[in-house]
Structure 1
Amino acid sequence: MLPALFLAHGSPMLAIEQTEYATFLGELGKQYQPKAIVVFTAHWETETLAMTYTDDVYETLYDFGGFPDELYQIKYPARGSKMVAEMLESRFAEQGIPVSRDAERGLDHGTWTLLHQMYPKADIPLVQLSVNPYRSPEAHYRIGEALRGLGEQGILVIGSGVTVHNLRMIKWGQREPEDWAVAFDDWLIERMEELAPGARMAVPRAEHFVPLYVALGSGSKHTPDIVFRGYDMGTLSYLSFAF
């Protein structure tokens, strides 16, 4: 059975840098060979839950600027799956969760940078879904809960975000993490309901955090396994969980 995953997508440079985290993602891809992949990405925000709906090859979106030309040459030509999308749609309907279809949207870097390292052949059908940073953690948990059990069918659910994501606090070139960033992740590992140390700095806006609740809801257990922990640029966390 496949777990549900919360994976940090960090900087777009993840796609081309051979870091410890990139190596981990490559090994994770070898460990799990899904029939299809479902990704909730922090870089697609909609008021109502939305999902891609296509059988065609996705466009690769470069939704960032100021990076090396090499990064803009990467293509991730995965195909969508209307069949999987319709199955998700049915599950959401059973739980009274509205969802809209988007036949045009490509893959943003919250999705393809991770999958480029995990599944470089881009040969696994994929459905991408949105988040709403203004909705509650409970709402995102319910969305994930509607998909619980997909791992038993060979479908990998991924929440793609970052636990500590504050671009104003990044320390370019710094490899050692800031104490407050570590303290926030320490708290998160222990509990998710109390006021966390460094919360306002770690999560100034919730779009990168709510995919964690989707993964939590869709997983088979509430006590997560920490599958990776590391930091870059002082404050950017690569803490990742399996549920």
Structure 2
Amino acid sequence: MTRAPVYFFSHGGAYQPQPDVQYKTEHPVYPVLQAIGKEITQKVKPKAVVVFSAHWQAEPNEIHLNNAVNTDLIYDFYGFPPEFYKATYPHRGDPALASRILALLASAGIPARGMKRGPDHGVFSGFHVAFHPTLNPLNVPLVQVSLYNNEDPDAHHRLGQAVAALRDDNIVIIGTGMTVHNLGDLRKTWGDPTPMPYAVSFDKALKEAVEADPKERQARMAEVARRPDARRAHPWMDHLMPVYIAAGAAGEDEGVQTWTLHEGAFAWAQYRFGDIPE
């Protein structure tokens, strides 16, 4: 059986910080995420989904994951309209899958522990578009795993490698973040979609690295994080690290950028690693 593909979602908002993507139905990314979600539910048909969100960084050298079935959403954002804090997203965890992930991480020498923690907006906002509760429900367990609280691309690549075996059981691994994410510059250019120069240059460099020969990909991607424009593209690299996890989980499978958009201080690239079932 073909291994489940791995995905990276750019999940940000239109002209302002996320979590507004689920409300911006006219934004160009909206139908793109919808199409990716249908690809996953209708073609891949996963047994479960494991997600790594930019908005959960645990410890510098330790990983956390949700091991509870029922959890509340985490509204980890400030200053938005009241309805943003009433958002819902149906989901259920899977303690058995969480235990398996902990075992995989232990085998890879990665300290980790389980806890009860609901999905943050890096998960539920983009997933509400890709896996709309009524139009395209996911209907499988969802286990969220943290990032490290550091900016080490190789450590996050190894984290992806550690959980790659899940793909053999048709479990889809998704990283969510943004390929360019500078909120400071966003506030300076509020409402102006004209791309900042680094949004274009960094996004292009990341694409070339992700689409490189898988044998060279890890080194090429690590170089991207050291580029002169990298710190402008990501003042803190939390939104970038999930793509390194996805690449690590991909192993020898090729990566492809399926779509991108340069918008102000953001870039919205979407990636898939591996093949879609026929």
Fold match by TM threshold 0.5: yes
Q: Which amino acid aligns with 1:51?
A: L
* Segments ≥4 residues shifted beyond 3 Å: 220-223
Picking from 226, 229, 237, the partner of 2:257 is 226
Extract unaligned runs of 5+ from structure 1: none
Structure 2 CA distance for aligned equivalents of residues 157 and 52 of structure 1: 15
Residues 110 and 160 of structure 1 are in contact (CA less than 8 Å); yes or no, is this contact kept in structure 2?
yes
1:46 aligns with 2:46: no
Extract unaligned runs of 5+ from structure 2: 13-17, 210-220, 274-278
Picking from 186, 192, 196, the partner of 2:227 is 196
Correspondence for 2:24: 17
Q: Identity over the aligned pairs, expressed in percent?
A: 35
Note the 1:169-180 alignment, pairs <5 A: 169-170=185-186, 171-180=189-198
Correspondence for 1:120: 132
Residues 133 and 210 of structure 1 are in contact (CA less than 8 Å); yes or no, is this contact kept in structure 2?
no
Correspondence for 1:61: 74
Corresponding residue SS for 2:181: coil
1:141 aligns with 2:157: yes
What is the Cα deviation at residue 221 of structure 1? 3.7
What is the Cα deviation at residue 124 of structure 1? 2.3
Correspondence for 2:105: 92
What is the Cα deviation at residue 214 of structure 1? 0.5
Picking from 109, 118, 134, the partner of 2:121 is 109
Residues 59 and 77 of structure 1 are in contact (CA less than 8 Å); yes or no, is this contact kept in structure 2?
no
Residues 8 and 175 of structure 2 are in contact (CA less than 8 Å); yes or no, is this contact kept in structure 1?
yes
Correspondence for 1:6: 8
Residues 234 and 240 of structure 2 are in contact (CA less than 8 Å); yes or no, is this contact kept in structure 1?
yes
Q: Which structure carries more helix by proportion?
A: 2
Residues 3 and 220 of structure 1 are in contact (CA less than 8 Å); yes or no, is this contact kept in structure 2?
no
Once structures 1 and 2 are overlaid, which stretch shifts more, 133-142 or 7-16?
Answer: 133-142
Q: Deviations over 1:5-27 (max 9, x none)?
A: 11111121111111221111111
Structure 1 CA distance for aligned equivalents of residues 192 and 83 of structure 2: 23
Residues 67 and 98 of structure 2 are in contact (CA less than 8 Å); yes or no, is this contact kept in structure 1?
yes
Picking from 201, 205, 222, the partner of 1:183 is 201
Structure 2 CA distance for aligned equivalents of residues 84 and 197 of structure 1: 40
Correspondence for 2:175: 159
Q: Which amino acid aligns with 1:55?
A: V
Correspondence for 1:236: 266
Residues 151 and 238 of structure 2 are in contact (CA less than 8 Å); yes or no, is this contact kept in structure 1?
no
In structure 2, relative to structure 1, the CA distance for the partners of 1:221 and 1:173 (3 Å cut) is farther
Q: Deviations over 1:70-93 (max 9, x none)?
A: 322210120111011111112112
What is the Cα deviation at residue 227 of structure 1? 1.5
Q: Deviations over 1:104-149 (max 9, x none)?
A: x111101111111111225321111111242521111111001214
What is the Cα deviation at residue 220 of structure 1? 4.2
- TM-score scaled by length of structure 2: 0.81
Q: Which amino acid aligns with 1:93?
A: A
1:217 aligns with 2:245: no
Structure 1 CA distance for aligned equivalents of residues 38 and 207 of structure 2: 26
- TM-score scaled by length of structure 1: 0.92
Corresponding residue SS for 1:146: helix
